[in-house]
Each structure stands twice: as C-alpha cells, then as structure tokens.
Structure 1
C-alpha cells in the first residue's frame, strides 16, 4: 500500500486546560501521559514544527495543509505565541496554510479575538447546548459551569465583522438531554457549522448508554430527530449528516470515522512528540505514541508506522464483520479508537456499530425517497 501524506496537523500547543470536563479523552481516559508533558510548546519545538510541516508539504508537493491549534486549551499558550506560530508557518510552507483553533471559549476576549482574526485564524468553540446541558460536563475544577463565559465569547464571535473567522460549534452528544432542545440552543448563536461528536468509548470501556454487544441504537435515536429538522430547514451545516449523504451519493467522506478514505491527520504534542489520532488516548496508555519527535524525525517517518498503516488501510484494515457489511464503504468501520478491545485490538467494528448502521440506513432511505420523487 502506498502511504498517503499528512495534510492535517494538530498541534498541542498547551497540554493543560482551564476546564475539567468529565468526559475528556485527554485527562479522564486510559492514557495519562499528559501529566509528563511541558505545559506549553517551547519556542524551539515550535521552530521544529514549522520546519517539519514545510518539509512535508514540499516533499509531497501539497498545495495546501490544515493546521489545528489544540490542547488542552490552546488559548492558554497566549495569543502572541499563537499568532507568531501562524505567521512563521505561512512564511515557511510552500503551500497554503489554513489555520484553525479549537477552544472552549472561556478566554476569548474582544482583544484576543481581534488579534486572531487579523491573523486569519478560524475559531471553533466547544459547547454542549444550553446551560443545563453544557454545565453537566463542561465545568471548572471547582464545579462551576462554563456556559456563561462561553455565551459571552460566542456573542463576540457572532458579530458581523468576525463571521468569516467563526468556524462553528462542536457538541458532544449527551443522551441525558433532549436532542432538539440541544440543537436549538446551538442554533441561537447562528453557527456556520455544527459538529456532533459521539462520546469516546471502546468495547472494553463502552460509552454511556451503549452496552457493548447491545443491539440498541440510543445514539442514532438521539441524532435522527435533529437530522429530520436539519434536512427540512438547513439552518446550518452539520458535518456528520452532510458527509453521510455525500457518501451515499457516491462521494468520499472527508471526516475520519466515516468511509474508507486514508487518514491524513497527525498530532504533535507539546514536547514535540509526533503522535497518531489523539482520540486513541481512550483505548490504552501509549496507543497514540510513535516514538518520533519533530526535533529529529520528519513526518514521513510516521507514515510507515503500523497504526498509520491501519488508519490508511481502507477495507483491508477492517475485520471480518465489517467486510461482510453492505454499508462498510459509508461507515468505514467507525473511528479507530472506538473499535478497540483489549483482547482483539482494533480489528473490530465500532462499539457504535448499531447506531452507525441505523443512522446511515435511515438517512439513505430519506435521500432515496426524495430522489425518486424528482
């Protein structure tokens, strides 16, 4: 198999967070290596990151790359550090560099927003719905909810002059809260896009409400009322639904965890370690480790790693259950972390398999019925 070059670089610019969300895969799940990471990426490590991304883009003649400033909470690194890093990335790479920042929004003030907007950084904010839904999980360490601060930040980001840098909202699905009420709370901020994320879990440590081996479909049942409303009104872009429809119409989903497209994402931690998809932290300690560092290794060295091969292997990397499934080209077996079992590794369908099958099937039936009436 020919390796596919990386096109999305997730930079963990700060390893700590000012919130203590109880579902966080970084701090609350199997891999606790964040404790040994430097708090902020050093200037020397940032220099190496810039050099390695430019090197990779040039070696593979990439017309563009995406850089995601991540954490922890990336705003803790300071906007001067962030914007200087962005400036150097764009100056060194012989490719267009699309920069995005994923933040909890708590530290997003008018001045910081202005600085990031001037640097052309698109900003995504994590929010789980109204105050009740959001503050059930997304709290400060002392138990205070974060919704008030995030609301303030989103009102700033929603101003007309910042609309072009508003990347959208990221919402973790919580079965305890009504789906349409959650969706409407997000729509109140007029986001250009909404990403609904399934909570991380594995066959060995199933997500809330998802019994391993159960035929129930609680997550599909939660998402489908939102799909019905979205499909009728299109009040914003919902990536999960849009990518499923694209796949059903013959396209290739562009999001990891759907379809069979090779993964092109790689992570750099604050100490310069080159790592796999960071959600693998939910599987077992060290699951994302490659034993590589930007100070000494090019990104090409990560392309031959067995886990990279697994993430880029398409149907060949999937187990027998997925091979026998008629929808495998659409779900792709689900996110790699969600396939893990401590006895069988990653050669399993997603722990969300029944949910994914129902979601894709119902969306497919709706789209097919509409096409047949035209």
Structure 2
C-alpha cells in the first residue's frame, strides 16, 4: 500500500464535517461500461462486497448520518444513492432509508436525496416511487446520440442507448421533471465537443455535469498516455472544454454546467465543492454495501485499498473518518500539495486539481494533477472571458 500524504495534525487544522454521504446501496451493475472506475480499475474490492446493502446496514448508516448532522449542527446534508446501479435495489427500500434519515436528523436539517443511475431500469412507476420520497434522479450518459454511448454496453455487449434515450425522455416529461437533477457525462476527448454539447441540450436536462475521466500519472486518462510531470504535455481536455465553454458562454447559459460554474466561483473567490477547483475542504464520504466507511471511491483508480479507512458504521462515527490521514490530507489545503503547486499563481483557483488525479506510483499524491496543463489552460481561458465581461 502506498503511503498517504501527511497532513497537518488536529491541533493545526480543524476538520470540516462531511456534508455529502455517498451510500452504496448496490455493488453490482447491469452495464459494463469499458471506462468505469469501479469495475475496470486498480481496486477490485467490489467483488468482496455484498450485492446489496442490508436493511440493518442502511439503518445504521441513517443513524450515523443523523449523529454527524447533530454533532456539527449541519443545516443540510446530501444523500447520494449510488452503486453499481442503485436501481437494482427496490425504490421502496431506497425511500425507506431516505425517510429514516429525515426522521432522525435534527429539526431544521434538510436532507437532499439523489439517486445516480445509468437510466436503463427507469420506468414511470419507479420515478413515481422515488418522487414520493423526494428523491431526485441524476442520469449518467456520454452524449445524446447512440455513437456517443458506444462504450456503454451490458454484460453481453448489447448497447444501452435505447434504454438511455427512453430514460431521458421520461425524466424530461412534465410529470417527472421536478425530480430531474442533472445529466452526468464523462468527457471523451475523441468526440466532437459541440456535437456532444448540442446533443445533451437536446435531451432538455435541467443541468449538466461534465466530468474528466478518472486517471493519474500511473494509469493516465485517454489522450494523456505517456505524460510525465516534468515534461510539456498536450491539452486535449482543455481543447474540448474550451470549445463547449465558448458556446455556453456566448449563449444564454440557461443550462448550468457544474464544471464551469465551479471554475467561475473559484475565480471570484467564492466557495466551491473542493472536488476539482478551489481550496475549499472536500466534504464527501462513502458507505459501502457492507457498511464500511470509505473515502471517495474514485480513489480505487490509484491502487488496491486506496479508499479504505478500516472504519464501519456499526462501530464508528463519521467523526472517526475525519481523523483518517487520507481524509485529513484532502482537507489540508496547500499543505498536501506538491511544491510546484504551492508556488503556482493559479493555486487558489485550481487547488491542485482533483486529489485522485495526482497519484503517481512510488510518489503518492503529492504531485501536480495529471490534468495540470489542461486545467491551467482552461482556467486562463475562463478568466479572460470573465475579465472581458466585467471590464469596459
């Protein structure tokens, strides 16, 4: 196991409480997307997880969430029902869990619940069941056309697109739209950015969440193979995102794009989620189907066991996870970053990029992001657009 970046001790920095709880309700998936960081990455721990979270595990998780909310007097918490494919679990069971969390948290604490699904199992009946428990739906797909989703196939290699298209139409229908959260789409640098963007808008989503594929220096994302921290690198992801940003910026921006909104917030000195931009403390934690408390599961792309904490909802409060060295490193701001990051003029905006993308075997996480060149180019482009917009 790789050594975790050393972070300041508790006396030096007060940990930020968790505000987002990613609950793995099912550890399996009915699709086999070829780039999935859960099933085709360095960590195969999912094979040893129960297929579904038991009612006892969900009850314990609900009580731990409520305990954390009470301890830190949180005004709101986010529950993300995740997998695998979470809708392999009965929506009534998901609703029971969310209702229990709402019943247990202190008065005045809002519980915002979302299920993140590949959409293939969505039906009008399931959407009504989720809506009855005020569970919003996030839809994952790679674009609004069949050829954008060529890597989204089931275990027999059959395309998922017909079911995805049906799901997008269902969610956009007036009776279901109030519960439609967003479309999450992983960037393929080989795709045409404007075609993908326009095809996603054609699905009429309320918001878009464009994601960089999870990769690092040891297992680089597509288009950055062979990249090294000490050499000049291409910027295929900045090229792709800048094309979309310019189209989005020049339009009425009626559909929010989280990545651009976060970049703009960081440039303006506003709080961010701490995932990709800014130095705001990261505040998400994962509960696996067996009740194990883990760091964010994108760490599974680094090495076997990278996300583990050794903690469990049956025996440990979430506050114990705040003291874990890996979580402390995520919350320690510039102290956990590489010297070149701490000296960079873009530090306050970039924040070193996503923690997961900094990993390099033998060197841990104290490296620039594998997307460093892409992020720098994108940030400067967005900053120029913002400057032109506010300056006469």
Q: Which TM-score band (shorter chain)?
A: over 0.9
Tell me the residue number matched to 1:54.
66
| 1:337 maps to which of 340, 356, 361 | 356
Other structure's SS at 1:137 match: coil
- Render the CA deviation track for 1:269-319: whole Å, top value 9, x for unaligned: 000000001100000010000000001100000011110111000111111
| 2:102 maps to which of 86, 90, 113 | 90
2:286 equivalent to 1:263: no
Kindly indicate whether the alpha-carbon contact (under 8 Å) linking 2:120 and 2:164 is maintained by their aligned counterparts in 1: yes
Other structure's SS at 1:117 match: helix
Tell me the residue number matched to 2:7.
none
Offset of 1:161 from its aligned partner?
Answer: 2.2
TM-score, with structure 2 as normaliser: 0.94
Tell me the residue number matched to 1:73.
85
Other structure's SS at 1:237 match: coil
- Render the CA deviation track for 1:79-134: whole Å, top value 9, x for unaligned: 11111111111111112111011000000101000111121111100010133443
Offset of 1:190 from its aligned partner?
Answer: 1.1
| 1:227 maps to which of 240, 245, 262 | 245
Kindly indicate whether the alpha-carbon contact (under 8 Å) linking 2:302 and 2:356 is maintained by their aligned counterparts in 1: yes
Offset of 1:235 from its aligned partner?
Answer: 3.5
CA distance, structure 1, for counterparts of residue 271 and residue 76 of structure 2: 19
Tell me the residue number matched to 1:138.
152
- Render the CA deviation track for 1:247-282: whole Å, top value 9, x for unaligned: 112212225121101111000000000000110000
TM-score, with structure 1 as normaliser: 0.98
Kindly indicate whether the alpha-carbon contact (under 8 Å) linking 2:82 and 2:115 is maintained by their aligned counterparts in 1: yes
Matches within 5 A, 1:247-326: 247-326=266-345
2:185 equivalent to 1:171: yes
CA distance, structure 2, for counterparts of residue 324 and residue 119 of structure 1: 48
Tell me the residue number matched to 1:150.
164
Kindly indicate whether the alpha-carbon contact (under 8 Å) linking 1:170 and 1:195 is maintained by their aligned counterparts in 2: yes
Tell me the residue number matched to 1:41.
53
CA distance, structure 2, for counterparts of residue 133 and residue 48 of structure 1: 43
Kindly indicate whether the alpha-carbon contact (under 8 Å) linking 1:243 and 1:255 is maintained by their aligned counterparts in 2: no
Kindly indicate whether the alpha-carbon contact (under 8 Å) linking 1:206 and 1:351 is maintained by their aligned counterparts in 2: yes
- Render the CA deviation track for 1:68-89: whole Å, top value 9, x for unaligned: 0000000001111111111111
Tell me the residue number matched to 1:355.
374
Kindly indicate whether the alpha-carbon contact (under 8 Å) linking 1:134 and 1:146 is maintained by their aligned counterparts in 2: no
Kindly indicate whether the alpha-carbon contact (under 8 Å) linking 1:340 and 1:348 is maintained by their aligned counterparts in 2: yes
Kindly indicate whether the alpha-carbon contact (under 8 Å) linking 2:187 and 2:210 is maintained by their aligned counterparts in 1: yes
Return 5+ residue gaps in structure 1 as ranges. none
| 1:129 maps to which of 143, 160, 163 | 143
Report the count of equivalent residues.
373
Runs (4+) of structure 1 moved beyond 6 Å?
none
- Render the CA deviation track for 1:299-353: whole Å, top value 9, x for unaligned: 0000111101110001111110101100011111111110000111000010000
